[in-house]
Amino acid sequence: MSAPIAERHLSREALADYLAGAPAAIGVPGNPRCRIDIDPPRREMALRTPHDGQEPPDLSLYEYVEARVVRDEGAEWTELLIRYGDSEYEAYLLLSDIADLIQQDGLPFGAAVRSSLTTFGDLLTRVGSLSAEKQTGLYGEMLFLESCIREVGPGAAVPAWKGFARNEHDFVFPGACFEVKTTRTESRRHTIGSLEQLQPTPGTPLWLVSIQITAATPVVGRSLAGLIDDVRTAAGPEVGALDISLGLAGWRERDRPLYQDCRRLRSAATAYEVDGGFPVLNRAVIQRGCAQPSLIVGASYAIDVTTLEPGRPPSPGDAFVTGSAT
């Protein structure tokens, strides 16, 4: 059995200590063997795992990433090398994700690298800070996560947050999934990004959580940076896992000065079960009401649930909509 993710990977603070020192090799517990080599003078970082006999993936499209076979300690290793420049933390997140895919999901090196590079695509190519829309979305997800940590503890709440991943609901708990939508408008108007976003997982109810936020002073509100600090503190032993997820969501510590505007809830959050009575546009609707539905390859749409009667979701979402969130 693999070690929990919080024990498998370095916290941001521990990584900073390595980055300030001499070259080092950090083992990642699990099988097959994986280690992350950090070379601060060269500003390079590499993941190594025993060579499985397969050709490394072709990464010629990436300027600062290279896959190769190297010989060390009398053995052959497959290595993913990153010349990280000023993106040392992002590089570590990428290598950690690949190690997880190899050791916990059983993927071969090449498949793990391709999967992670796809997941990190926006992160690797992003220039500048999070957009205003993404800041708003992340703020709402952090409010919900903070509440969930209070209700079920960090060990259950932090791994349930999937909002950074494509094709996943924002929060996935054993008894329910939650899609968290946050707006700065006076109405509960939210954008649904795809035909699949509000598709419930078979056997698991899906709830849309509607959050309205507005500008505030530091006396009554929190900035995105301050909220993330509070959630990291609440995460306790799961902070390493949370940091990895935050990185995947686009949070970069060096961008902290850009996220100092304070926000607060405009109104109490509400929740709506995505069932037969909920207004949703999905594949089934397209199949029933559109000529040649196979030609519809995607769609996004906006809904306004202001006049819709909210419900009471199952735990841990119930606490969030009954006044415990701030």
Using a cut of 0.85, tell me whether the model's pTM lies above it: no
Residue 279 has a CB neighbour count (10 Å cut-off) of 13
* pLDDT tier at 5, thresholds 50, 70, 90: very low
Q: What is the average pLDDT value for the chain, to the nearest integer? A: 89
pLDDT score at 127: 42
Helix (H) or strand (E) holding 222: strand 222-223
Q: What does the block give as tokens for 181?
A: 């939508």
In terms of DSSP bridges, do strands 177-183 and 206-215 run parallel, antiparallel, or are they unpaired?
parallel
* pLDDT tier at 326, thresholds 50, 70, 90: low
Helix (H) or strand (E) holding 81: strand 75-83
pLDDT higher for 124 or 91?
91
pLDDT over 90, % of the chain: 65
pLDDT higher for 9 or 63?
9
What is the spatial distance between Cα 154 and Cα 238, in angstroms, rounded to a whole number? 6
